Chain A
Amino acid sequence: MIAPPLKYAYYPGCVARGACRELYTSTALITAALGIELVELKSASCCGAGTLKEDSQRLQDAVNARNIALAEEQGLTMLTQCSTCQGVLGAVNDKLRAERGSAYRDEINALLARGGHHYDGSVDVRHLLWILLADVGLDNLRARVRRPLTGLRCGSFYGCYLLRAQAHRRVDDAFNPQSLEKLFEALGATPVYFEGRTKCCGFPLSSYDAPTSFSMAAVRLQDAIDCGADCLVTPCPLCHLNLDARQPEVERQVGRKLGLPVLHLSQLVGLALGLSPEQLGLGRHIVSTRPVLERLGL
């Protein structure tokens, strides 16, 4: 089966261009391999990760209306690759669409007009995970697998904003999501179900209450290990930062060696498509991804 031409306005997010460049590279590689064209929104700003509204609701809405307007100018659906960006941008889009014709939306548009933009609610904001399932399709993905991930036991880690930040237009059940598990199976891997897969990684607290943040990460990591996961796979680079980059501190806090690799969604897809671990930046993780590669005979 050949997919129709797929083209999206690409919102990479801050972390994929900063501390998790391997996500940026992997997404570029897998989308190219799947025949997806990405038009990167180079003048898009940070979405604020859900905290801008604490400063000012109007600030969160206007900054993100501008980001969405950039995709509208391309006439393309916006593709995100971070659960938090998706939740924030998606919720702003849902809200402003419902505000059609309201004074508030006019007020936001008057602000955007200063930069020559206009929000009209004409495009969707969708995470790469949802696009892989709905637009590329699991059958299509399955047909393109060059290296089946047989024997790899993957625990999903969805990210709160992907599951619960948008009250409408949801893809997954907030308590029992299946998108990642379906994807694992299509790639030949085995899903591992554990309680923490839908919960918080602790990242939002990490800058000012590290002990609580690490306790939260510890519960999730230990839960996944105890349920038999070889690795976690996440569509959220913020979860990745807390679960991978801070894992040594988490280990110290709980006094247990964890060593659980955490893969970005794009890296897992890339492995199944036959891309090399070097291309996918699997050597750039804080927790060694060696156990994953060994499981796959690499």
Chain B
Amino acid sequence: MEITIRIRRQAESGSPDYKSYALDVDPGTTVLDALMRIKGEIDGTLAFRKNCRNAICGSCAMRINGRSALACASRIRDVADARGEILIQPMGNMPVIKDLVVDMTSFWKHLDQVDPYVSTAARRTPEKEFLQTPEQRAAVEQAGNCILCGACYSECNSREVNPNFVGPHALAKAQRVMADNRDDQTAQRHALYNQPEFAWGCTRCFYCNEVCPMGVQPLDQIQKIRHELLTDKATEPNTAMRHRRVMVRQIKESGWLDEARFALQVVGRDFKGLWSLVPLGVRMAAKGKMPLRHRPIENCAQVRDLVEAIQKEDTKS
């Protein structure tokens, strides 16, 4: 089939430009093979990363029609539009070195910040290797499938505005080591991950889950870390945790959220927090948006009983 690949080109310090390349390819060709043909047959100056061509190494992540994906795992017939056009751009949230090659320094630095290794002390193996049961191995299976391609980091909405947020790849790895029965650093990890730049920095935009080519589903892993933090009595409480606890408490009390009281109980606990709410409160009250009358839902006792029954079972398990 006749296709046109439109590629965002950029020299090291220059401004970006788009260049189109026409090719005749088999519809089953991968985007990576098409890029290699462009480089080999049309324009040798085109820069992109590649290695295994098999969705194992994670080198060839790029934006294909605005969505981060592995070029080697994307077939032309699936990504070309009705006119046979495909748009190729470098990944986001990282500066461009040249064309489709981005500087992944912050990506690796952030990964390192979660201490992404099964603890050294636990790895002292005097006589033989550690054995894991199939169940113990299964606990690390999903997050362990990450190939560090950068697709999730490229689309992460929190990372877009907060350069200190470690990102979905790092937190998926954090969950993987936390869930590993050989790791003995649980308390230290809980303290480290219980920070706004770590587990609580995610805004739950779902982009990481959407683009992950390996089914790691980083958001799901982040929410597992949060679960661990919330259920560990030793975790230092913070506003993000209070947000979750007040929500459950209010659902028990009246079935639904009493927004004004929610804000006071979560944010307005100290003078600074309370002060930060004053302008919002005044503004909402002036427009008649301050929710003052809060009545429980019908059959509220039923919801309370349900939540309490689950809490009792969860405590037992």
A interface residues (Cβ-Cβ under 8 A, vs B): 14-15, 17-21, 42-46, 48-59, 62-63, 66, 111-112, 114-115, 160-161, 163-165, 174-176, 199-200, 202, 204-205, 207-210, 212-213, 215-216, 219, 245-246, 248-249, 283-286
Most chain A beta-carbon contacts within 10 A, residue among B226, B256, B311: B256
Q: A209-B201, A248-B283 are in contact. Are A18 and B257 (CB under 8 A)?
A: yes
| Cβ < 8 Å to A, chain B residues 151-174 | 157-158, 160-162, 165
The answer to whether B280 and A56 have CB atoms under 8 Å apart is no
The answer to whether A174 and B303 have CB atoms under 8 Å apart is no
The answer to whether A174 and B210 have CB atoms under 8 Å apart is yes
| Distance from B208 Cβ to chain A, minimum over Cβ atoms (Å) | 10
Report A-chain residues with C-beta under 8 Å of the C-beta of B226: 54
Of the residues A58, A207, A249, A283, contact of B243 by C-beta under 8 Å: A207
The answer to whether B206 and A63 have CB atoms under 8 Å apart is no
Q: A114 to B305: give the CA distance in the assembly, Å.
A: 8
Chain B, interface size category, equals 35 or more
Closest partner residue, chain A, to B289 (CB atom): A19
The answer to whether A209 and B251 have CB atoms under 8 Å apart is no
Render B258-291 as a binary contact track against A, CB cut-off 8 A, 1 for contact.
Answer: 1100010011000000001001100110011111
Q: A286 to B288: give the CA distance in the assembly, Å.
A: 10
Report A-chain residues with C-beta under 8 Å of the C-beta of B204: 50, 160, 200, 204
Once A and B bind, how many residue pairs between them come within 8 Å at the CB atom?
188
Q: A66-B303, A284-B289 are in contact. Are A54 and B251 (CB under 8 A)?
A: no
Q: A66 to B251: give the CA distance in the assembly, Å.
A: 13
The answer to whether B256 and A204 have CB atoms under 8 Å apart is no
Q: A57 to B307: give the CA distance in the assembly, Å.
A: 12
Of the residues B67, B263, B298, contact of A175 by C-beta under 8 Å: B67
The answer to whether B310 and A58 have CB atoms under 8 Å apart is yes
Report A-chain residues with C-beta under 8 Å of the C-beta of B238: 208
Most chain B beta-carbon contacts within 10 A, residue among A21, A57, A204: A204
In addition to A44-B297, A205-B158, 12 A-B residue pairs with Cβ atoms within 8 Å of each other are: A14-B257, A45-B255, A164-B206, A174-B206, A200-B157, A200-B204, A207-B243, A207-B266, A209-B201, A212-B161, A212-B196, A286-B289
Report B-chain residues with C-beta under 8 Å of the C-beta of A55: 227, 230, 244-245, 248
The answer to whether B157 and A175 have CB atoms under 8 Å apart is no
Q: A59 to B230: give the CA distance in the assembly, Å.
A: 14
Report B-chain residues with C-beta under 8 Å of the C-beta of A45: 251, 255-256, 297, 303
